[in-house]
Every structure is written in C-alpha cells, then in structure tokens.
Amino acid sequence: MRGTVRIFWAAIFLLVSPQIWAQWLHPSSVPLPDTIIQGGWLFDGFSDQRQANPGILIRAGRIAELGVNPADFPLATTRLIVLDKAETILPGMFDLHAHYNLDLIDEGRVEEVIYNGALFLANGVTTTWSAGEYYPERVIAQRDRIDAGEAIGPRLFASGPYFGAFRCEYSVKVAADECIGWPNDITETEIRNEVDVWQRAGVSSIKIKQATPEEMRILIDQAHKHGMTTASHLANYNVEYDVDLQAAILMGLDRVEHQLTLGSGGERSAELPEVIDLMLEHEVYYDANLQMYGGINERRAHPDDMLWTNEAQYFTPYTQELLTARGDPPPESGAKEFAQRERELRLLYEAGGRDLLVVGTDEPVYTLLLPGFAYHRELWAMHHAGLPNAVVLQAATLNGARALGVHDRLGSIEAGKQADLIVVQGNPLQDIKAARHVNRVFKAGVEYDPQALLKSAKGKIGPNGPDDHADWVLHYRALRGDDLSQE
C-alpha cells in the first residue's frame, strides 16, 4: 500500500517539479498503524457548524474514512484516540504570509526556520507559504529536511526571494533607487530566468514586491507558464512603484496582500466597489494581515485577546535583552487607516468573497512576538473585524489550501485527503480564541505533541551573544554575477 502511494505521488509530482514531490510523502519507512480518532466535535473546513465527530480513520497518512466504528477494527493493530467532549478537531491551518525572517540585531531580515517551524506546528499551523525570503536556501533546505523526515516542521511552501526591488529590503524607497538584486535595467530575459531558477528549486508560488507594472506583467506571465501562482504587496512607494490593483488583477495576479485600495477611506478608497467586483470575478485571494498592521495599538486596546502566553521565552537570553531594549516599533498603520483595512475585509466578505479570504500573519520579527503565535492574533483580529468564526476558520483551512492549489489533498476533513489535523480545547466556532489551545497536531497522520514542540524551541531563537551575529546579518545579493541561487 505504502509503495503504491509513493509511486502515485511521485509520478504526479515529477511531472510538475522534481523537488516538490517529496512534500507529499510520509518519510517514515515504518508503516504507521491505522488510527481512529473518535469523540469530541469536528469542524470540516467548510461548514458553518461543527458536528459530533463521526469517527475518523487515518491510514497511511491519509484520512481513509469518516463515520467508522472502532469495534469493526482489530484492537491489536489499531490505535484509538478518544477525544474529550470539550475538544474540537479541525483541519491543520495554513499561514499564507508566514515570514521566517527576523531582524534581531538591526542588520536586516534573515531567516530562522528550525524553531519558528516548530512554533508554527505547535500552534496548529501545518502548512506555511513564506511570502518573500532573504535567505531562500535556508527555507528550501529546511523544507527538504522536513520532507525527508530529518526535521520537524510544517509543510513548507517556499516562496523564493522577493521578485522586485524589495530584494534590497528597506534601502529602496523609490523606483529610481538602485538595487543590486533587482537592477533598474533588469531585462525581460533576466526576469523570466529568475522565475525559472526558483521554479526548479521547487517554488510553486512567488511574491512580487516593488516591481514596476511591466516587470509584474512579465513575472505573472512566466509564473503562470509553470503553473505557479503569484502574490503581491502593492503599495504606494512614492507613486513610482505603484501597480494599481485593478491592473494587477487583469494581469492575472492570484493573491493580494494587506489592503484593497491604497487609500485610508474617503476619496482615495473610492474604487473599492470596483476592486471587490473584479476580485470576485477573477477569484483573487486576499490576506489582510490585520494583526501586523494594528501592531502595538491593537495589542494595547485588546491585551487579553492578543497576548496570552510568554513568547519572549523562545528567544535566547541575549536576544531578549536586545529586543527589550529596542522596544515596540510604531504600528504600520494609524487608527483611521486600520479601520479602513477592517472595513475592506468585511466588505469583501459581505459582497460574496467568503471563499477568497485567507489567513496570513506577516510577522517579520522586530519585537518579542513570534509568527506562530501571531497566527492566533490574526484569527482574533479577523473575528473582531466582523467576520463570523466559521468564515475565519474556513479562511484558515480550506481557503489556504485552495490558494496554494493543494485543496485536492489538504484543507478539509474529507476521505482521501492527507491527515493534517489539529485538536483544540473548546469550541472555536463560539470563541475563536479556543483555536490557540492546541492539544494535538497531526501532519500526514503523524502526531506531534504541541508542548514538546514548544519546549524544543525555548531559549533557542537568535544569537547567543555579540560574537554570534554572523547568521543574523542580511547581505543583499547581486542578480548579476555572484547570485547564490545559481549554484
């Protein structure tokens, strides 16, 4: 049976990309016993209600059947898990804006994949897409280690580096500024080559940020040639970098992040109804990243809803000192602009965009807060913006899988799908905060203990002292010449 599954997936994915296929295999050479999860409640990923758990049979890493009776299975070879009446089982959750990059020593954003991955998984996030990377080789190597069973973490969908001048992080302010990673005279051939290089590394979705309209058109075209999807941060970089969202949608952009208009209400947001119509027509996904834009303002306004555990303990003592000294940066958006972001999210939902909402944390780490926990701040913020909890949970599960094009295998609790499941304490349909109390996590049928994962990351993130900075410094890479991605 296992051999058949392996050959089946291998055959499918070798056609797409030789590097991706392993993402779907269970690495263990020892077959897992059949597992039945009974008791408690079940949210399937798309219904408005939870239902009494009918009994889930997990076989060879997949959900084999729903509605099974343990009495029909041999006790000696079947593992039985009985959930408590107060527990709810859900599909594993998706973070569609899961940065693994952290700026800990004021030397730029760099990736830390090992412990952040453990924290995502401990928080019930079984799949991440990383929305722009500065050290993509770290992300890809960790993805491959996880897929080979040599490391523990979520299903890691790499984005590759930023496609656009954000490769030079915040040093590029306007289009005229030069970036060695994305030169102003970049040619169409170079742009298409870049997409090809990262497609060969198994990237199935890219992030566009600070590209010109013409660059974006080429990027989307080349990505789509490979069956890859595209997401973009559109913003007002002193006008010159603007790609109008409606224009981007007509180019074929698959996902938009942060905001739907570049305004904060009033005249500058007047195009909102047309934008929403166009998003519905072209099925463009949206992750609003409210928790990041609300920042310190929202945490001050709703401390009990946004903070519930000591996240600082996962940093090294030295890093805790650095980040404490740095203090909270100002929020990314002021009150008026934040209210407009909430409004845009709510209006897209009310206009019929339920299936287009996805959850993304967008938490590059500048403070003592971490993306795995930020995920639950985002769920709460979406609820607080006026979305029903069932809609938020669908965004967190099935919609995330759809947006990544993997909904035939992930995102809901249905027979035939991969057994990526989480068990939480309480009813998240009634109180979204129940989703943050994760009792069990399964990925491809393998169970992970959230408490053990949390413990494994304690005191680990960041440099250990001033002599340990080397891995935490961002070096921009030239597109021409010594591009490490070409190795």
Least CB distance to Zn ion at residue 217 (A): 22
Which residue type sits at 403?
A: A
Which window, 55-63, 360-368, 405-413, 425-433, contacts Zn ion (CB under 5 A)?
Answer: 360-368
Least CB distance to Zn ion at residue 208 (A): 12
Contact flag: residue 169 with Zn ion (CB under 5 A): no
The set of long-range contacts for 11-17, using a CB threshold of 8 Å and a minimum separation of 24, is 16/204, 16/227, 17/199, 17/200, 17/202, 17/204
Quote the tokens at residue 216. 């974006």
Residue placing its CB nearer to Zn ion in the complex, 254 or 362: 362
Longest dimension (CA), the chain: 70
Which window, 144-152, 359-367, 371-379, 468-476, contacts Zn ion (CB under 5 A)?
Answer: 359-367
Distance, CA of 444 to chain centre: 18
Quote the tokens at residue 204. 């199935």
- Spell out a b/e string for 34-46, using b for 16 or more CB atoms within 10 Å of the CB, else e: bbbbbebbbbbbb
Which residues, numbered 373-402, are part of the site for Zn ion (CB under 5 A)?
none
The number of residues that bind Zn ion (CB under 5 A) is 2
Least CB distance to Zn ion at residue 97 (A): 6
Residue placing its CB nearer to Zn ion in the complex, 13 or 163: 163
In DSSP terms, 461 is beta-bridged to: 315
Residue placing its CB nearer to Zn ion in the complex, 131 or 359: 131
Residue placing its CB nearer to Zn ion in the complex, 87 or 363: 363
Residue placing its CB nearer to Zn ion in the complex, 61 or 132: 132
* Residue 259: HSE in the Cβ half-sphere, 13 Å Cα cutoff: 22
Which window, 127-135, 152-160, 186-194, 396-404, contacts Zn ion (CB under 5 A)?
Answer: 127-135
Which window, 18-26, 100-108, 324-332, 354-362, contacts Zn ion (CB under 5 A)?
Answer: 354-362
Q: Which backbone phi and psi does 51 adopt, to 5 degrees?
A: -130, 160
Q: Which residue is nearest to Zn ion (CB)?
A: 362
Distance, CA of 215 to chain centre: 25
Contact flag: residue 363 with Zn ion (CB under 5 A): no
CA 85 to CA 83: how far, in whole Å?
7
Closest by alpha carbon to 25, among 120, 119, 144, 113?
Answer: 144
Which residue type sits at 199?
A: Q
Least CB distance to Zn ion at residue 361 (A): 9
Q: Rg of the chain over CA atoms, in angstroms?
A: 22
Contact flag: residue 362 with Zn ion (CB under 5 A): yes
CA 483 to CA 181: how far, in whole Å?
9
The CA dihedral of 245, 357, 380, 374, to the nearest 10 degrees, is -70
Residue placing its CB nearer to Zn ion in the complex, 160 or 445: 160
Residue placing its CB nearer to Zn ion in the complex, 111 or 362: 362
Least CB distance to Zn ion at residue 288 (A): 12
Which window, 68-76, 126-134, 155-163, 313-321, contacts Zn ion (CB under 5 A)?
Answer: 126-134
Angle at 119 between CA 233 and CA 400, to 5 degrees: 45
The residue whose two tokens read 């340990």 is 468
Which window, 123-131, 277-285, 411-419, 442-450, contacts Zn ion (CB under 5 A)?
Answer: 123-131
Which window, 32-40, 155-163, 248-256, 362-370, contacts Zn ion (CB under 5 A)?
Answer: 362-370
CA 297 to CA 293: how far, in whole Å?
9
Residue placing its CB nearer to Zn ion in the complex, 133 or 298: 133
Q: Which residues bind Zn ion (CB under 5 A)?
A: 131, 362
